[in-house]
Amino acid sequence: MPLDQIDVDEFENQMTFLEHLEALRWHLIRGIIAIVLGAVFSFINGKYIFDSILLGSTKNDFWTYRTLCDLSHFIYDTDRICIEVMGFKLQALDIQEQFYQHFMIAIIGGLIIAMPYLLYEIYRFIKPALKNSEKKYSSLVIGFSSLLFFAGVLFGYYILSPISVNFLANYSLSDSIERNFKVSSVINFISLLTLGAGIIFELPIVVYFLSKIGLLTAETMKRYRRIAIIVILIISAIITPPDVMSQIILTFPILILYEIGIFIARKVSPKVPIETP
């Protein structure tokens, strides 16, 4: 058979272990280059990202706080869930702290910007192991994964971070305690919480692959649904202020993701043939 007629995927399936490692190395290199490019962009715009984005949830005029206050007036006709004044100050206690945080902002920003391309590289690596019917939906999976990630980032930034920052910043054991926080503490908390939410929102994709290989089924997820709901409610009660409305705002999207996971598991779980006597 002429070389130009050889199925590339068939050739890649016949690669040795060392050849797979070499292919993985190049996927990692390209992924790192994408992160570096995103990090350079974030580093150049570090001041804007720091002042206008990362510290947004520490200001009382943040979009989430204004929306909650409007919602409070609409539902309760009072300031019941309006955000209190956050009277704390940020301090740089180490001489190199601001410089290090600039790099931290750049790295996290680069990772968020490069995520769609990273997902594409992951797909390219596992592509040889997929069936032709599965490859048809590859672009849909990559697009859905990217959409879930950025939806999680937005949820973490506009919902989870503001609620958590407000609760922790206003929590006090005594009025004699002055609330002055390190820059690194606040930035790491907000950025990692936002990035973590983006990763958590990839739950349906994780369920898809676990169901595909038979490690998770829809029946298992439905069987433990009540336990999952209790765990989610407990986490929401710990993170959010002691208000039912805030807990619902945090719990609702996670429950939706869990139900989407059940639907996905039901669709992709391998069917076990029924044995006839």
Distance in angstroms (rounded) separating the CA atoms of residues 171 and 181: 13
Confidence at residue 8, expressed as pLDDT on a 0 to 100 scale:
46
Which tokens sit at 73?
């007036």
Residue 131 makes CB contacts below 8 A (sequence gap 6+) with: none
Given a contact cutoff of 8 angstroms between Cβ atoms, the answer to whether 183 and 97 are in contact is yes
pTM of the full structure: 0.76
Give the pLDDT confidence score for residue 250 in this predicted structure. 67
Locate tokens 């849909």: which residue? 140
Q: What is the dihedral of CA 258, 262, 267, 273, to 10 degrees?
A: 150
Phi, psi of 242 (to 5 degrees): -70, 65
Q: Give pLDDT tens digits along the chain (277 positions).
A: 444 444 444 444 556 666 667 777 888 899 999 999 999 999 999 989 988 888 888 888 888 888 888 888 888 877 777 776 677 788 888 888 889 989 989 999 999 999 999 988 888 877 776 677 666 667 787 888 899 999 989 988 998 888 778 777 777 787 788 888 888 888 888 887 788 888 878 888 888 877 877 777 888 888 888 887 887 777 666 655 555 655 676 678 878 888 888 888 887 765 544 444 4
Q: What 3 state SS string does the chain have?
A: CCHHHCCHHHHHHCCCHHHHHHHHHHHHHHHHHHHHHHHHHHHHCHHHHHHHHHCHHHCCCCHHHHHHHHHHHHHCCCCCCCCCCCCCEEECCCCCHHHHHHHHHHHHHHHHHHHHHHHHHHHHHHHHHCCHHHHCCHHHHHHHHHHHHHHHHHHHHHHHHHHHHHHHHHCCCCCCCCCEEEHHHHHHHHHHHHHHHHHHCCHHHHHHHHHHCCCCCHHHHHHCHHHHHHHHHHHHHHHCCCCHHHHHHHHHHHHHHHHHHHHHHHHHCCCCCCCCC
For residue 168, what are its two tokens? 């922790």
